[in-house]
Structure formats: C-alpha cells, structure tokens
A and B are shown apart, each in its own frame.
Chain A
C-alpha cells in the first residue's frame, strides 16, 4: 500500500520544515554566531533552524514509513482568491481609498466560495461597507479617505 509522495501528509510536512529551516539556516549564516558566553545575533537562529531541520527529517522519514494521506481535498482556488483579496486590499488602500478597496475585497473574496451570485455580492458588499463605515470611520475614528478624490 504505497501512497503517492505528493499526498503523503508527513512527507510533505517534513519537506516543508526542511525547506523553511534550510532558508532560515542559510540566512542566519550571515549573522555573527558568537559564543555561549557572548551570544551573537546568529546563535539562537542557527540553533533553532538546525533543530527545525532535524524535526523535518524525522517527520519526513516517518511519513515514508507510515504513508498517511492528506485528509480531504485541497482548497487551492479558495486560498488563491482569499490571499489575493488581502493583497489587493492592501495595495488599493494606499491608492484609491477605503470604499473602492472594500468593493474589490468583497468581489475577489466572494469568488472563493462555491457559488457566486452577483446580486447577492452587490447587496452584501453594500451593507457591509456601510457597516464598516459606521464601525471604523464613525465609531473608531480611523482617518481613512473614502475615495481617491477625498
């Protein structure tokens, strides 16, 4: 009973840990290590990165042996739309003001769901933008412009 490595839960977890640990370790090589008496800024990061890689190797090897599969399906589409909605909101807030940024946030994030009903999204974003205005601008007094011309 061999599980495809691409859906082997622990193998993938181990791989992720080794990659992150490896990046951290190589970055930490640039920081002075120091000694136990006078620890440099590189001491703690390098020890931790090494430890993390060791955990990754252990978990990865265990995955090869036990071969448990990742449960459920991957929600790549949902993850992509939600990530992009955060990025777009941040990028737009610096440029066009709160309301257009929120409109984009709602339309992009709603695409992550199972069904996209245009009418619903329009109503939802209108109601929630009014709500956001009440809470954040009126209630908390955050100093954001609403549109790019403000």
Chain B
C-alpha cells in the first residue's frame, strides 16, 4: 500500500533526532503556554510564530503543529481546573469538566481528555494521509478560474459558518483582503496603500497582523477587568479513570472523533463547532440527559475528542489546497509562505519530506501529549497559579523580540502597535478577527487568480460559470450564502413581530 510507504517515509523524517526534539519542544512549550489562563491557541501561535522563522522549514512546521495541539490540550486543562476557557472550543469542556473537578474528579477528567484527544488525533492523522494525496492530485488540475472560485467559497464559508455576526464576518474578510493589498502590485510594480513608508512596499508582515490582531487585543481585553477563576489544585490525587468511566467514554470518543473529523475539514468551523456539536450529540444520546452540566464524563470525552479530531483534519485543506479554513490554519499557511514554500497541491510532490514528515510528527506529537501531560499535570497546575500581571509583559516581550527578529526593523514594531489598536477596536465592536486573517492570507492569491482568469477568458467574467468545477464552487458559495441568510430573515421577522406585539 502506497499510503504505508508514505507514512513510513514520513516517520523516517519525523524520527530524526532534531525533528523529534522540535516536535517535543513544540508540544511542551505549546502546552505550557496554553495552560496559562487567558492565553488561547491563537495567541500562543501568534506569539511563537516569529521565533520558528529562525528554523529551517521542516522543523519549523513540526514545531508549530506541536504548539498548536499542545496549546489546545493545555487549554482543556485550564478549562477543567479553572472553568476559564482559553478559546471558544474549550467552553464546552468547562461545563462538565469543571463540575467533575469540583467533585474531586479532576484527575479522571484530565485523563479521559488526554485519551480521547490521542485517539481522535491518531484517526485525524490517518485521515490526512488517506485523503491528502487524492485531493492534491485533483487540485493540481485546477486553473486560475477554479482557484478563484474555490477561494471565494472558502472565504464565504468561513465567514458564514464561524460563530457570531455573519455580515460583520464578511466585512472582516473584505478588510483582510484590503490589508493584503498593501505592498507592491506584482503586475504593474506599483506600490499600493504604502503611505509613503518604504518598508510597506514589501507588504505588511504576516506576523505583524497576527500579533496585533490576536495577541494585543486579547491581552488588553484580559486587562479590562481582573481575571476570575478558582483553581482546584489540592484535589488531583487519582489520575486513573475507573472502569466505568472508560466504558462510559468509549462511544462518546468514537462519535466525537467522527463529528470533529467532519467539521474540521469545512472552512470556518473547526474545533469550536465540533465540540459544541459533539456535546449536543452526547446529550441527545444519553439515557439521562439531566446529568449533563453536573459532571458527566461523556460531556468531556466527546467534545475533547471532537476538537482534537477537527484540529487535525483542518490540515487537509490547508496542506493539499493551500486554503486555510480557520484563523490558526491561516497562521500555519502564513508560516509556510514565509519559509519560502508556495502553499498548494504541489507541496506534496515538491516537498514530500515536509508533507509526510509533518503528518508523522503529528502522530508522534499526539503521543507525546499523553505521555507528557499525565505525569506533568502537577507542574501545569503550578503554572495556573502564575498571576496574569507577570504573564502579559512576558508575552509582549516574546511578541516584540520575535517581530523585530524577522526584518530587524523598528517599523514592524510600530505597525504591531497600530494593528493592536485596530484589533482591539474590532474585538470590542464584535468583529471577529479570524475571517480577517483568512482574507489577508488569501487576498494576494485571489487577486492574482482573478486577473489571470480574466486574462485567459479575454475579460469574459462568465469563465467562472462555464467551467464545471468552478461552477460547482460558485453554486456552493451561493447556497451557503442563501441558507445562512434565511434564518436571519426569519429572525428579523420574529423581532419585528415581537416589537409590534409589545
């Protein structure tokens, strides 16, 4: 079987001593930072991204992937022990996980979360290895019109399916596209939106946008009012789940994995929707749904498996099509670009060592998570006690040195400040930054493909609708928009009715 040859090849890459070290480092650092209250995966990655640029591509990507699932797992630990979700996906884990901790069962909750995540991660890794190659092969046949339509669909889907206000999310995609225009136009050599600043003719740095939008805004938000949360530290005596716990968790883990693997591949959904859906499924399947919210282990096992499965399968569109589906994946894609690798279906054939090495390292990383986390849980708990007033200056230090190190330019730091102000304003006005970063990453590619497509068709815009694959993406985009608008219309009607009645 070819897939096994490929996986074995991947393992020979991932098991080299230095790659193994960076995988371990990524998982370890990711978990350590992800555990810290108020620091979610996006902030963790945004903060550590610039540092990985000083590494060669393969270890850099392996480390980043490790940071990603490490920080996600670390976030679950914080949710269970402190009832303080670091990101939307962990909100669900808080519900029953924190209740279990209150009942003195934090140990089993953490252990089940680890086991569920490992199982889901392994399945997710296998799915990437299975579906990656055929998807990439298909995508190699895409021309400019297909790519433009695909990106349009990905952006619309990401905006519509992500939580929150759809109109604002679409607007944020457009803002991201506008920010992506900053720099020199490839076709005409003209500097656009550069404000006369010479550094901006190369475009705005990707990490500048990421740190400003995600890290700065998050820190300022946390500083608005003191963080609350109570730590259950003394009560972790027994890590081992009972046989009954394991039995109760088996099916939820399987179902959660399936739910997560499905949602992970869709743009805009990812871990958050996966864990919510998995929780809903478990509540529906349960014989006694009233136990949920009072420390039901199924309510931890299912969602934790789901969000980890989704975290893995989200790599499928990112690595095979070059189309990221979520904010985190946009950061990973940006990292690829900065490493000098053009994302897209050719990555698999041009850089098989990167592709298969990364996949193999994901499985190793997931294994490391279990091995690391269960014995080290005592140490993570100690980290929970670090007060935020020590944390945030340290995070700022990493962001500052990291961004300076990319171009050795003070201008990047000035821009981080400006993007931070923008990011905070957008956050307060409830404009989600994730669609923005997707637009920012895809913007230049989209413009290029649009221009190329229209050049091929001699300016005829129907080219997007006459080529069958492109037409399919266009129809899908329209369907997504229509179905998402419909409930909105209905809701507006209801609002009008209630206002009329009241």
Complex alpha-carbon distance, A108 and B400, angstroms:
13
Q: Judging by beta carbons under 8 Å apart, are B171 and A41 in contact?
A: no
A138 at the interface (CB under 8 A from B): no
The 7 closest A-B pairs by CB, nearest first: A90-B413, A37-B459, A90-B410, A55-B171, A13-B429, A78-B223, A41-B185
**Chain A residues within CB distance 8 Å of chain B:** 9-10, 12-13, 16-17, 20-21, 24, 27-28, 31-32, 35-41, 44-45, 48-49, 51-52, 55-56, 58-59, 62, 70-75, 78-79, 82-87, 89-91, 93-94, 98, 102, 105-106, 109-110, 112-115, 120-121, 124-125, 128, 132, 135-136, 140-142
Q: Report which of B170, B223, B431 forms a contact with A113, defined as CB distance below 8 A.
A: B223
Q: Judging by beta carbons under 8 Å apart, are A55 and B167 in contact?
A: yes
Contacts of A78 in B (CB 8 A): 219-220, 223-224
Q: Judging by beta carbons under 8 Å apart, are A89 and B188 in contact?
A: no
Q: Judging by beta carbons under 8 Å apart, are A79 and B188 in contact?
A: no
Minimal Cβ-Cβ distance residue in A for B431: A13
B: number of interface residues (CB 8 Å) = 63
Q: Is the interface of A mostly helix, strand, loop or mixed?
A: helix
Q: Report which of B225, B400, B454 forms a contact with A89, defined as CB distance below 8 A.
A: B400
| A40-B188, A109-B393, A136-B405 known; A75-B221 Cβ under 8 A | yes
Contacts of A120 in B (CB 8 A): 389-390
Minimal Cβ-Cβ distance residue in A for B395: A109
Q: Judging by beta carbons under 8 Å apart, are A102 and B174 in contact?
A: no
B175 at the interface (CB under 8 A from A): yes
Q: Judging by beta carbons under 8 Å apart, are A105 and B396 in contact?
A: yes
Q: Judging by beta carbons under 8 Å apart, are A17 and B171 in contact?
A: yes
Minimal Cβ-Cβ distance residue in B for A124: B390
| A75-B220, A113-B389 known; A37-B458 Cβ under 8 A | yes
Q: Report which of A49, A73, A83, A86 forms a contact with B225, defined as CB distance below 8 A.
A: A73
B498 at the interface (CB under 8 A from A): no
Q: Judging by beta carbons under 8 Å apart, are B223 and A75 in contact?
A: yes
Chain B: minimal CB distance from A33 (Å) = 12
Contacts of A58 in B (CB 8 A): 167
Q: Which of B4-12, B370-378, B419-427 contacts A (4 or more CB under 8 A)?
A: B419-427
Q: Judging by beta carbons under 8 Å apart, are A51 and B393 in contact?
A: no
* 19 residue pairs bridging A and B, Cβ less than 8 Å apart: A9-B429, A13-B431, A21-B178, A24-B178, A40-B188, A41-B187, A52-B174, A62-B167, A78-B223, A78-B224, A79-B421, A83-B417, A84-B417, A102-B401, A109-B392, A125-B393, A128-B394, A132-B401, A136-B401
Q: Report which of B174, B420, B426, B430 forms a contact with A86, defined as CB distance below 8 A.
A: B420
Complex alpha-carbon distance, A144 and B491, angstroms:
58
Chain A: minimal CB distance from B91 (Å) = 16
Complex alpha-carbon distance, A121 and B387, angstroms:
13
Q: Is the interface of B mostly helix, strand, loop or mixed?
A: helix
Q: Judging by beta carbons under 8 Å apart, are B188 and A41 in contact?
A: yes
Q: Judging by beta carbons under 8 Å apart, are A110 and B224 in contact?
A: no
Contacts of B51 in A (CB 8 A): 135, 140
Q: Judging by beta carbons under 8 Å apart, are A70 and B451 in contact?
A: no
Complex alpha-carbon distance, A78 and B455, angstroms:
50
| A55-B167, A89-B413 known; A79-B178 Cβ under 8 A | no
Q: Judging by beta carbons under 8 Å apart, are B401 and A13 in contact?
A: no
Chain A: minimal CB distance from B49 (Å) = 14
Q: Judging by beta carbons under 8 Å apart, are B410 and A94 in contact?
A: yes
| A70-B429, A91-B410 known; A48-B220 Cβ under 8 A | no
Chain B: minimal CB distance from A36 (Å) = 5
Chain A: minimal CB distance from B77 (Å) = 23
Chain A: minimal CB distance from B36 (Å) = 14
Complex alpha-carbon distance, A54 and B241, angstroms:
55
Complex alpha-carbon distance, A87 and B418, angstroms:
9
| A83-B420, A86-B400, A89-B400 known; A44-B174 Cβ under 8 A | no
Q: Judging by beta carbons under 8 Å apart, are A110 and B389 in contact?
A: yes
| A35-B459, A55-B167, A72-B224 known; A87-B414 Cβ under 8 A | yes
Q: Judging by beta carbons under 8 Å apart, are A36 and B454 in contact?
A: yes
Minimal Cβ-Cβ distance residue in B for A42: B192
Chain A: minimal CB distance from B265 (Å) = 28
Contacts of B450 in A (CB 8 A): 39, 44
Residue with the greatest number of chain A CB neighbours at <10 A, chosen from B168, B192, B401, B420? B401
Contacts of B413 in A (CB 8 A): 86-87, 89-91, 93
Residue with the greatest number of chain A CB neighbours at <10 A, chosen from B192, B225, B392, B458? B192
| A41-B190, A44-B181, A45-B178 known; A132-B421 Cβ under 8 A | no
B397 at the interface (CB under 8 A from A): yes
Contacts of B193 in A (CB 8 A): 24, 27-28, 45
Complex alpha-carbon distance, A62 and B495, angstroms:
13
B216 at the interface (CB under 8 A from A): yes
B143 at the interface (CB under 8 A from A): no
Chain B: minimal CB distance from A30 (Å) = 9
Contacts of A114 in B (CB 8 A): 223, 226, 389
Q: Judging by beta carbons under 8 Å apart, are A72 and B225 in contact?
A: yes
Q: Judging by beta carbons under 8 Å apart, are B420 and A79 in contact?
A: yes
Contacts of B430 in A (CB 8 A): 9, 13, 71
Residue with the greatest number of chain B CB neighbours at <10 A, chosen from A84, A86, A136? A86
Contacts of A135 in B (CB 8 A): 51
Q: Judging by beta carbons under 8 Å apart, are A39 and B454 in contact?
A: yes
Contacts of A141 in B (CB 8 A): 54
Q: Judging by beta carbons under 8 Å apart, are A79 and B424 in contact?
A: yes
Q: Judging by beta carbons under 8 Å apart, are A82 and B459 in contact?
A: no
Complex alpha-carbon distance, A105 and B400, angstroms:
9
Contacts of A27 in B (CB 8 A): 192-193
Contacts of A91 in B (CB 8 A): 410, 413
Instruction: Indicate with 1 or 0, residue by residue over B218-250, a CB within 8 angstroms of chain A CB atoms.
Output: 011101111000000000000000000000000
Complex alpha-carbon distance, A110 and B395, angstroms:
11
